[in-house]
Structure 1
Amino acid sequence: MDRVQVVVMGVSGSGKTTVGERLAAELGVPFVDGDALHPPANVAKMASGVPLTDEDRGPWLRIVGETLAGTAPEGVVVACSALKRAYRDLIRAEAPGTAFAELDGSRELLAERMAARPGHFMPVSLLDSQLATLEPLQQDEAGIRLDVGGAPEQLASTIAAAVSPSVR
């Protein structure tokens, strides 16, 4: 089997971690939550309600790409917002061949999900800035876009079918 490199992407509350964990299990590869790769200064900034700048994100996105390129021989699934095309390009520069699975949903559903996550560093107040920043996957980008209204297991299965090397 060829190596699988997948980023489950979207704004906060879209289910990146939940779907990413299920996808990784289905593909038989490790899962990494991109939030765990943020430097402490980024986490502190977001926790205080201040959106990250592109300058803040650059080093983190390179780490995400390095993680995709080198974590495991069979591949890896990483949950990462990857909101802009330029961010995805930074990831692809480190990990060519990465596929993206964009999780999309209504603002109301996303805010509801975020509010139900006590103790998470990302406050609901930053959702609008993330939605304003989001650049959906473009036709020339390898990946799939899905509505988060579906069950996480079904979303993971749909993504697995789309990105599995044996299916391509």
Structure 2
Amino acid sequence: MTRITLIDPSNATGTTGEQLAQIKSAFGIVPNMFKAAANSPAALSSMWGSFGALGGGRLGAKLGEQIAVAIADRNGCNYCLAAHTGLGRKAGATAQEMAEAQAGRSTDARTAAALQFAIIVVDNRAGIQPSEVDALRTAGFDDEEIVEIIAHIALNLFTNYLNVALDVPVDFPGVKLTRTAA
């Protein structure tokens, strides 16, 4: 049971109402995570703005969703794992690619490097070694893309923490976690 009120989009006004309408237009529904975030107009604006900005970034939707499931599994976030698995499939990833990404793996060397980096950043609370950034460069990532990977990590930590801490009900088809939270 959720630990916070889920805002009813039909009762939302102002900027919050406008953003929830945009979210409904994008997803066909207003997912519970956004209803929870809508308790704080600032938090909702931050979250929705970050999704929009990163959605137009250089990494592409598929890699962004693969990073998201690796982090969700690491943090034990059922909500984000379910949501991003579905979104990854819509972005062109196969079921196998999403399952592998959830475990931090990929047959594509560039994707594998990004996933391993994301897991190292999460596990070490960003206390990484220069060699870990060098591994991204070796895999073909430039500085813009490296910073964008960090932005994806930060956004996913925000959404994982919101959903886990407040026990937001999952409203996407469930996906089994493969790892317990660190």
TM superposition score category, shorter chain reference: 0.3 to 0.5
- Structure (1/2) with the larger strand percentage: 1
Which of structures 1 and 2 has the larger relative contact order (alpha carbons within 8 angstroms, sep 6+)? Answer: 1
Greater share of helix:
2
Higher Rg of the two aligned structures? 2
